[in-house]
Amino acid sequence: MRGPGSPAPGPGGLRPRPGGRPMHPTSPLRAEPATLPTDVGRRHATKPGARDRRREADQEEGRLRPVARRAEAFEPPPVDREITIAEGITVKELSEKLGVKATLVIKRLLDKKILATINQTLDVKLAEELARDFGASTNQLSYEQETTHEIEQTEMEQDRERRPPVVTIMGHVDHGKTSLLDAIRSAHVAEGEAGGITQHIGAYHVEKNGKTIVFIDTPGHEAFTRMRARGAKVTDIVVLVVAADDGVMPQTLEAIDHARAAKVPIIVAINKIDKGDAQPERIKQQLADRGLLAEDWGGDTVMVPVSAKAKTNLDLLLEMILLVADMQDLKANRARPAMGTVLEAKLDRGRGPVATVLVRNGTLKVGDYFIVGSVFGRVRAMFDDFGQQTREVGPSLPAEVIGLDALPEVGDTMQVVTDTAKAKQIVIYRESKARDVAMAKTNRITLDQLHDQLREGETKELNIILKTDVGGTAEVLTDTLQKLSNDKVKIRVLHSGVGAITETDVLLASASNAIIVGFNVRPERTAQATADQEKVDIRLHTIIYELADEIKRAMTGLLEPVFKEVYKGRAKVREAFRISKVGTVAGCIVEDGVLTRNSEVRLLRDNVVMHTGKIESLKRFKNDASEVKAGFECGVGIANYNDIKPGDVIEAFVTERVANEAFV
């Protein structure tokens, strides 16, 4: 059926275009006047279906068939609020903070081609983008900060009470820091240290006038700069130890910088005043030049002359520490969940991972669940700084904690948690992020890069596997060794860990052509046997600068040898003799220096090098000679060379191998 005035359908039932040519079957329908007949435009005229009837009805009412449009660009609403997001936030938590349904957040993730469930953990960057899409700016916090923030909001001022001051002892190496602390607590810490040097952080508390003072002893060697900085972060007061017979040294200046960066007051202990060459006033002058003016000179820095050996003025030093602490008004809430800082971590054969923790606030109790970095744990036992077992530890006090799932990073914050499910979720999230970072650091070499390195052939690598007694030392030694790298030798610490050298370490070293460095640890018996079998080099040390010196020597030996040419002498050819079964022998006179039997020679003709080779025979008359000095005649045979003519010059030299200086 056709309506009046309708053009006849073309082949296949298609309507012709105004020019007479029928439309292509895949062309979209164009808008027609509202008076089109109901059966025009059917694709299948003989089998009308629901789609045809719907199209006909639309055309009768004058509506056009909607054409699919390209999706419009998403424009986020203007920012009108701020929310705080913590690492490892889930879709559900983000939707609650944004005040929208979780389905809307999931839909927005789908728009970003990301499939997620309501309990999916979101990356911080992705969470920020989602919040912006819903008109909110973000303030990023760590899980510990968020937990602490919630506790502090409900905390009352009357809950807070005075806490002991945490004092960090800093100063240059061998200025008497440990000896001073040793004298204060009447113990003998320094005698047990290798070489008299403190190798890692120790924390101890003493009593004075019924009040407690907590001391942190930080190492003085320059390689432990990072550990001193970490000590300054958790401290309330810095005691700067300066030897009266030595003066202000590089580590002294570093300690001042760390203390100022941490914005903590400095008390100067001028040590070794009992020595005959002590000059306390000179020390005050040097410190005044660095901005630390003594109180008796009109400044505000407390300076106490002490002697650790003679135990002079130790009580005065403690009183000054308590006085400065009173002025700071240090307070903490013992009733809240504990939070602290990991000062040290080590792997104990019998007890497993052990962390030395300084509690900053709250009370840490046996049985508490806690999170520290990417490690989850439960306090199974605690020991105080005297090795005695204890059930709880209050603010500002140190303790050894047993019950960790793995070794934490030194400097991580320890937070007691009540929501263990959420804490485990955060740990899993952090572990995945740490794994991603470790994977990103892996040097994956391409074929082009490999070709370039082989072509240049200049850079050598020294692979090291490092095992130490505690985690902080491993971190510092890794940095120290890698800083020894230069443009000729690159040091790679393939693996660093805590504990004894195991068979796995030896097998890794064998596979990667590495040496094993043990610091304050020893190899297991099976590991030593495997090392002997695999010819793996194990170096054991207890003092850090000796280790650094040995690695420098290893780097020097690893470099390509440099060969230096040393001139020995020259001889002029007077006559050339052809001898059967021997070849040509040059009759020469030595004009300069000496010709030796083991010399290499160049044959010069008109000052042009004709040949470079070795002396095959050297004779004086008919006798073999080891050397011929200037002014004497000799016969010289050059190995595999016979083109010798009168007037040629034979120049003798030797090539000596010179150890390359890796450190100039």
Instruction: Quote the strand ranges of 272-330, DSSP E.
Output: 302-305
Identify residue 113 by its one-letter amino acid code.
K
Residue 569 domain-assigned (yes or no): yes
Question: pLDDT tier at 27 (50, 70, 90 boundaries)?
Answer: very low
* Residue 127 burial (C-beta neighbours within 10 Å; 0-12, 13-18, 19+): buried
Tell me which amino acid residue 520 is: N
Pairing of strands 600-605, 583-596: unpaired
For residues 452 and 517, membership in a common domain is answered with yes
Distance CA 178, CA 163 (A): 24
Residue 56 counted as domain residue: yes
Cα–Cα dist 453/424, whole Å: 45
Residues 310 and 181 in one domain: yes
Element (DSSP H or E) covering residue 610: strand 608-620
Query: Same domain for 378 and 510?
Result: no
Residue 321 and residue 210 share a domain: yes
User: In the annotation, is 541 catalytic?
Assistant: no
Average pLDDT score, the chain: 77
Distance CA 625, CA 634 (A): 9
Q: Which of 179-183, 291-295, 355-359, 547-551 has the highest mean pLDDT?
A: 355-359
Q: Which region, left, alpha or beta, applies to residue 154 given φ > 0 means left and ψ of -120 to 50 means alpha?
A: alpha
Contact 656, 592 (CB under 8 A): no
C-alpha to C-alpha distance for 233 and 219, rounded to whole angstroms: 15
- What average pLDDT does the segment 518-545 reach? 84
Query: Which two three-digit tokens encode residue 632?
Result: 């004497």
SS3 content of the chain, % helix, strand, coil (to 5): 30, 35, 35
446-464: per-residue pLDDT in tens? 555 555 555 555 557 788 8
Cβ-contact 321, 236 below 8 angstroms? no
66 pLDDT higher than 80: no
In a domain, 153, yes or no: no
| 467 counts as catalytic | no
| 239-254 per-residue burial string, b: 16 or more CB within 10 A, e: under 16 | bbbbbbbbbbbebbeb
Tokens at residue 318, please?
Answer: 């403690």
Most confident of 59-63, 480-484, 587-591, 639-643: 587-591
What is the DSSP code (8-state) at residue 125?
H
Q: Is the pLDDT of residue 633 over 90?
A: yes
Q: Are residues 302 and 370 in the same domain?
A: no
In angstroms, rounded to a whole number, what is the distance separating the alpha carbons of residues 104 and 437? 31
Q: Annotated catalytic residue: which of 178, 252, 413, 468?
A: 178
Q: Which has the closest alpha carbon to 473: 175, 198, 166, 196?
A: 198
Residue 154 lies in a domain: no
**Any domain includes 617:** yes
User: Is residue 194 located within the same domain as residue 289?
Assistant: yes
Number of domains comprising the chain: 6
Average pLDDT over residues 330-337: 84
pLDDT confidence bin for 18, thresholds 50/70/90: low
Assign 174 a pLDDT band (cuts: 50, 70, 90): confident
The amino acid occupying position 212 is T
Domain-ending residue, one of 521, 537, 558 = 558
Domain boundary among the residues 329, 359, 375 is at: 329
pLDDT band for position 299 (50/70/90)?
confident
The CATH number of residue 424's host domain is 2.40.30.10
Domain that holds residue 123: 81-141
Could you tell me the CA-to-CA distances from 660 to 232, 587, 657 in Å, in that order?
41, 40, 9
pTM of the model: 0.59
Higher pLDDT, 65 or 405: 405
Q: Is residue 75 part of a domain?
A: no
CATH number, domain with residue 530: 3.40.50.10050
Q: Residues 458, 422: one domain?
A: no
pLDDT for position 601: 92
Per cent of the chain over pLDDT 70 is 76
Please give the average per-residue pLDDT across 234-248, as a whole number. 83
- Tell me what the mean pLDDT of segment 162-181 comes to: 82
Q: State the DSSP H helix or E strand holding residue 508, giving kind and residue range, or none if neither.
A: helix 503-512
The residue annotated as part of the active site, out of 97, 177, 346, 568, is: 177
As a whole number of angstroms, the distance between CA 247 and CA 181 comes to 20
Catalytic residue among 39, 52, 123, 174: 174
Rounded Cα distance between 238 and 248, Å, is 16
- The catalytic position among 221, 284, 495, 568 is 221
pLDDT at residue 42 above 50?
no
Minimum mean pLDDT range among 250-254, 334-338, 569-573, 652-656: 250-254
Same domain (yes/no): 184, 297? yes
Give kind and range of the element (H or E) at residue 332. strand 331-332
Averaged over 200-207, what is the pLDDT? 72
Q: What are phi and psi of 408, to 5 degrees?
A: -80, 165
pLDDT of residue 51: 58
Q: 27 Cβ partners below 8 Å, 6+ apart?
A: none
Helices (H), 99-205: 102-111, 124-133, 143-154, 177-185
Q: What is the pLDDT of residue 285?
A: 84
Neighbours of 609 (CB within 10 A): 10
- Burial call 152-165: b when 16+ CB within 10 Å, e when fewer: eeeeeeeebeebbb
pLDDT tens for residues 575-620? 998 888 888 999 999 998 999 988 899 898 887 788 889 998 999 9
- Whether residue 76 is contained in a domain is answered as no
CA angle at 286 for the pair 285 and 290, rounded to the nearest 5°: 110
Q: Token pair of 282, please?
A: 């000179």
588 and 654 co-located in one domain: yes
Average pLDDT over residues 198-208: 69
In a domain, 72, yes or no: no
- State whether 470 and 395 are in the same domain: no
Are 124 and 42 contained in the same domain?
no
Distance between CA atoms of residues 289 and 309, nearest Å: 28
**Whether residue 35 lies in the annotated active site:** no
Instruction: Please report which confidence band the pLDDT of residue 32 belongs to, taking 50, 70 and 90 as the band edges.
Output: very low
Residue where a domain terminates, one of 33, 64, 95: 64
Does residue 177 carry a catalytic annotation? yes
Residue 149 has a pLDDT of 67
Paired residues of 523 in beta bridges: 501
Q: Which residue has the tokens 């070849």?
A: 583
Q: Indicate whether 552 and 572 sit together in one domain.
A: no
Read off the pLDDT band of 573 (50, 70, 90).
very high
Q: Among 350-359, 414-423, 581-590, 609-618, which is the least confidently predicted range?
A: 414-423
CA distance linking residue 378 with residue 417, whole number of Å: 10
Q: What local confidence, expressed as pLDDT, does residue 69 receive? A: 46
Window from 389-393, 556-560, 574-578 with minimum mean pLDDT: 556-560
**Around Cβ 30, how many Cβ atoms within 10 Å?**
10
Structure tokens at 662: 């890796």
Q: What does the DSSP assignment read for 19-50?
A: TSPBPPTTSPPPP--TT--TTTT-SSTTS--H
**In terms of DSSP H, where are the helices of 225-279?**
225-233, 250-261
Question: What are the φ and ψ backbone dihedral angles of 491, each rounded to 5 degrees?
Answer: -95, 130
What would the two tokens of residue 189 be? 């810490």
pLDDT band at 248 (very low <50, low <70, confident <90, very high): confident
| Sequence-ordered list of residues with C-beta below 8 angstroms from that of 179, at least 6 positions apart, any chain | 190, 271, 308, 309
Q: Does residue 1 carry a pLDDT above 70? A: no
